[in-house]
Amino acid sequence: MKIFRLIINIIPKEFKNKSKYLLFLFFLGSIFEVLSIGVFLPLLTELTSSNIEVIQKFKLFILNFFPNLKLFNWIYIFLTLIAVVFLIKNLILSYIVYYQNKYIQDLTVNLSSKLLEIYLKQKFVFHKMNNSSKLIRNINVEIAGFIAFFTNILKSISELIFLSGIIIFLILFNPLITITVIFLFTFLSYIINLYTKRTLDKLGSIRLKFSDTAIKNLQQSFGAIKEIKIGNLENKFTSIYKFACLKTASAISLYSTLQQIPRLIFETFIVFIACFILSITFKEFDNSYVLTLVGIYTLTAVKTSPAVVKIYLSIQQAIFYLPAVNVLNKEMNLKFKKNNAKYDFSEKNYFDKKIILKNVSFQYSGTKYSSLKKVSFEIKKGEKIGIIGESGSGKSTLVDLIMGLIDPSGGKIEVDHFNLQKIKNFWQSKIGYVPQNIYLMDDTIQKNLILYNEKNFDKRNVLEVLKRSNLEKTIKNLSKGLKTVIGERGSRLSAGQRQRIGIARALYRNPKLLILDEPTSSLDKNNEKLIIDEIHKIKDITLIVVTHNEKILSKFDKIISLKDGKIKKIRIQKR
């Protein structure tokens, strides 16, 4: 029951009614599957001249409605009936297969996009504490694992409904033989499951662990390609990836073997049972009845053997993918806070005065030391602020706090006397941010500037920010202009061009606060001078620059020096 609660918890509400409809289709399909076997009984009885009472009553029932049928040979009537039942059955099953596949694919899209949304809406600290390879694995691999699990549960339900119908039919036909076979099959399944369940659990955990390792290694391999090439480390990274893949492959191959063995056991078992039953029935009944019995049970075995094997395999696959269900259940229940606060932020009064930090401290969860300790200062509208300090001094944490990406552990930040934590969404919509490592997508310059926000695309604004970031001439020299594809992480651009696109992207948002994190750290002296000149030209925007390079800050209003998470000095400069 716990498994079904987990499934219900993961399945979105809009799929609940679809799930009920799918179960109804399975029930309908099973009825016609049973009919497709039962419809052979009258024909076999007629061919063997058996005198089975139920079939004689069935003939009289048909003749009551269609008296003219007595002029025809019953064999042709039953053959026609078989053809009609199979035609209807296969049309219904075709629709069930289509609906089930569509249901599964729609569910896959829904769950993967929903999980991505949940991750993107988590607090920034969540992304700092979780490796992106794990999140990617959950969206791609574990969603697929859950879908495999759920598909196998659906298959089991479908086949169980079908088997239930067959069992009822066979009990009516011959209760003793049917109950004996059911008991023996159930006992055999229990024994096999007893020896394989623990192994399947272990194999599922191995798959989960090493698929994560493989994805992480791929990201690291392509992300550090320069260092790998220079250090001649291709074989090392390949061997790490191969080891993870071999572990995953070993688990899957053993799992696949365990899947196939039960089918062979069941097949052997069926043959032994059939021989045993026939040896008994030949002594007790006449040959015509035995032939009918053999025909019905043979046909039933042909139809039900795959169903029994499917149920068993589906249960094995479900056990193998159970870790994915547990992971997904946990991830789908991650909460994110919706900011529904309503404040009067018109263009006239929004960030009209200053940002104030009052005794702001920050400490990451699970750590002993504070990244920032009781930091206090203010930033007036239109000021240019420089933040300097050694690595680990708290510069990045301070900027993350000002942007509202993380919340203070102590103290508070105000924008025009409004608590930043309560106006986060409004505040962030007016911030332009240029990170130290600018992430550029393998797409056009235009889409990198607007970040796929085509709905609010403003070409005049694009042209303006290209001019302000000194990219206008560069774009004009490209044959496709803004439609030029720049390669993965902007690999077809120079370091200076990538930096300018980052600045242009930030300016496109028409920010009231522009933050640049180490804007010249990866540039040569020539590009560094050009970027510094462009930064100094930025007007009418409050500017914060985090840097080791104090040359950038020569024309700034204020320089804040940090050390060990504390303000060491605030230097006021005259421009």
Per residue in 259-296, pLDDT tens? 677 767 777 777 777 677 666 666 666 666 666 666 66
Are 370 and 562 in contact, with CB atoms under 8 Å apart? Answer: no
Strand ranges across the sheet with 431-434:
431-434, 513-517, 542-546, 384-389, 558-563, 566-572
How much is the pLDDT for 336? 66
pLDDT band for position 132 (cuts 50, 70, 90) = confident
Phi, psi (deg, nearest 5) at residue 458: -125, 100
More confident residue, 347 or 215: 215
pLDDT band for position 47 (cuts 50, 70, 90) = low
DSSP tag of 522:
T
Give tens-digit pLDDT for 167-220: 777 777 677 777 877 787 777 777 777 777 777 778 878 877 887 788 878 777
Q: Quick check: 126 pLDDT over 80?
A: yes
DSSP tag of 499:
H
How much is the pLDDT for 535? 73
Burial of 182 (C-beta count, 10 Å sphere; 0-12/13-18/19+): middle
Q: Quick check: 345 pLDDT over 60?
A: no
Distances from the Cα of 444 to the Cα of 86, 478, 484, 489, angstroms: 55, 12, 5, 12
Q: Quick check: 348 pLDDT over 50?
A: no
Closest listed residue to residue 262, CA positions, set 297, 300, 310, 302: 310
More confident residue, 401 or 417: 401
Burial of 562 (C-beta count, 10 Å sphere; 0-12/13-18/19+): buried
Give every CB contact of residue 72 below 8 A, 6+ residues apart in sequence: none
DSSP tag of 510:
-
Q: Looking only at Cα atoms, what is the longest distance across the chain?
A: 115
How much is the pLDDT for 283? 61
Structure tokens at 483: 């439609």
How much is the pLDDT for 527? 67
Positive or negative torsion for Cα 118, 123, 127, 130: negative
d(CA 551, CA 573): 13
Closest listed residue to residue 329, CA positions, set 10, 111, 112: 10
CA 426 to chain centre: 30
DSSP tag of 443:
S
**Angle at which helices 175-223 and 322-332 cross, to 10°:** 60
Averaged pLDDT for residues 331-343: 65
Closest listed residue to residue 302, CA positions, set 331, 278, 333, 270: 270
Q: Quick check: 102 pLDDT over 80?
A: yes
Q: Quick check: 357 pLDDT over 60?
A: yes
Averaged pLDDT for residues 113-140: 84
User: Helices marked H in 224-357 — which ranges?
Assistant: 225-230, 234-284, 287-320, 322-332
Phi, psi (deg, nearest 5) at residue 130: -120, 135
Are 78 and 41 in contact, with CB atoms under 8 Å apart? Answer: no
Give tens-digit pLDDT for 517-526: 887 776 666 6
SS3 labels along 249-270: HHHHHHHHHHHHHHHHHHHHHH
More confident residue, 575 or 541: 541
Are 138 and 331 in contact, with CB atoms under 8 Å apart? Answer: yes
Q: Quick check: 358 pLDDT over 80?
A: yes
Average pLDDT, rounded, for the chain = 79
More confident residue, 448 or 57: 448
Phi, psi (deg, nearest 5) at residue 386: -105, 140
Structure tokens at 222: 């392509």
DSSP tag of 568:
E
Domains in the chain with CATH codes: 2-332 (1.20.1560.10), 354-572 (3.40.50.300)
Structure tokens at 465: 């920010």
Q: Interior CA angle at 143 toward 137 and 149, to 5°?
A: 130
- What H or E segment, with its residue span, contains residue 93? helix 74-120
More confident residue, 316 or 253: 253
d(CA 52, CA 45): 7
More confident residue, 56 or 192: 192
How much is the pLDDT for 340? 47
**Angle at which helices 322-332 and 143-173 cross, to 10°:** 120
How much is the pLDDT for 507? 86
